[in-house]
């Protein structure tokens, strides 16, 4: 009985810790969203400092996403520059934006695809498409040793990830590594809300077990 009580107390405090962590995360997200809204309004009003802050805050992560879509780095870098030039020149007619990162991800994805003359086709979730998405993970040596068991585990993770379709790799990346929600993914990938949910579900089924997913997440750089 005593042990059961101890376990119950530990679970209770664990739940409290999780709730507090979620509340803090929610507060941070709200604050970030408010900063994004204010920055975007300042940009639309012609504030050059706001433009610089947006570039400083988001240029690097936008480039990283672009490199995952396109192997040709100069194409990605040109696309980024064109997007920021467009934002400044058309600042008075820009749409209302609540999440700058997802807006910029959408913009650079479309810009790169236009430069590559590529139009992604929506096929069934079981089919791969002709697009390219390189999640770009590296094995972190501090988690593994040069043992036969570790080598087999690494091979398993690599094989599992390779089996994901282009869109499945992208949606897992956007959801778990960039913190996008379904509405943002719908905007970025140009697919309907329910399709994005189905696509993620299919990707997670292909990953099969949570341990592989955790390893997958820990490998991304």
Is 132 contained in some domain?
yes
Closest to 189 in 3D by CA, of 92, 113, 91: 113
- Same domain (yes/no): 102, 157: no
Q: Which domain holds residue 76?
A: 29-119
The residues pairing with 164 across neighbouring beta strands, listed in sequence order, are none
Mean pLDDT of the chain: 76
Q: How far apart are CA 221 and CA 213, in angstroms?
A: 15
- Say how many domains are in the chain: 2
Whether residue 3 is contained in a domain is answered as: no
Q: Are residues 65 and 149 in the same domain?
A: no
> Among 71, 86, 119, which residue terminates a domain?
119
Cα dihedral angle (171, 173, 178, 182), rounded to 10 degrees?
A: 20
- Tell me the two tokens of residue 102: 């997802």
Tell me the pTM.
0.71
**Stretch 177-203: mean pLDDT:** 88
Whether residue 208 is contained in a domain is answered as yes
Q: What is the pLDDT of residues 15-56, one digit of tens each?
A: 454 444 444 444 444 556 679 999 999 999 999 999 999 999
d(CA 105, CA 170): 12
Contact 199, 115 (CB under 8 A): no
Whole-angstrom distance, CA of residue 130 vs CA of residue 52:
36
Has residue 95 got a pLDDT over 90? Answer: yes
Residue 131 and residue 114 share a domain: no
Which of 27-36, 66-75, 80-89 has the largest mean confidence? 80-89
- Give the residue from 96, 119, 142 where a domain finishes: 119
Q: 137: domain CATH number?
A: 1.10.10.10
Mean pLDDT over 186-200 rounds to 88
Region of residue 124 (phi > 0: left; psi between -120 and 50: alpha; otherwise: beta): beta
CATH number at 39 reads: 1.10.1740
Map tokens 């979730």 to a residue. Answer: 125
């Amino acid at each position: 009985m005593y042990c059961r009580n101890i376990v119950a107390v530990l679970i209770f405090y664990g739940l409290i810790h999780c709730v507090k962590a979620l509340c803090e995360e929610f507060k941070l997200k709200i604050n970030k969203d408010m900063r994004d809204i204010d920055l975007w309004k300042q940009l639309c009003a012609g504030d050059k400092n706001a433009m610089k802050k947006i570039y400083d805050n988001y240029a690097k992560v936008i480039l990283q996403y672009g490199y995952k879509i396109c192997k040709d780095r100069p194409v990605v870098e040109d696309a980024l520059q064109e997007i920021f030039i467009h934002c400044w020149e058309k600042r008075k007619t820009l749409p209302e934006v609540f999440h700058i990162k997802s807006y910029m991800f959408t913009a650079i994805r479309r810009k790169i695809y236009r430069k590559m003359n590529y139009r992604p086709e929506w096929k069934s979730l079981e089919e791969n498409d002709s697009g390219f998405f390189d999640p770009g993970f590296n094995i972190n040596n501090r988690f593994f040793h040069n043992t036969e068991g570790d080598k087999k585990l690494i091979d398993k993770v690599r094989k599992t990830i390779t089996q994901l379709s282009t869109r499945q790799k992208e949606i897992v990346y956007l959801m778990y590594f960039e913190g996008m929600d379904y509405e943002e993914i719908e905007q970025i990938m140009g697919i309907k809300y329910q399709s994005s949910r189905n696509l993620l579900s299919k990707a997670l089924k292909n990953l099969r077990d949570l341990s592989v997913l955790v390893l997958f997440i820990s490998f991304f750089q």
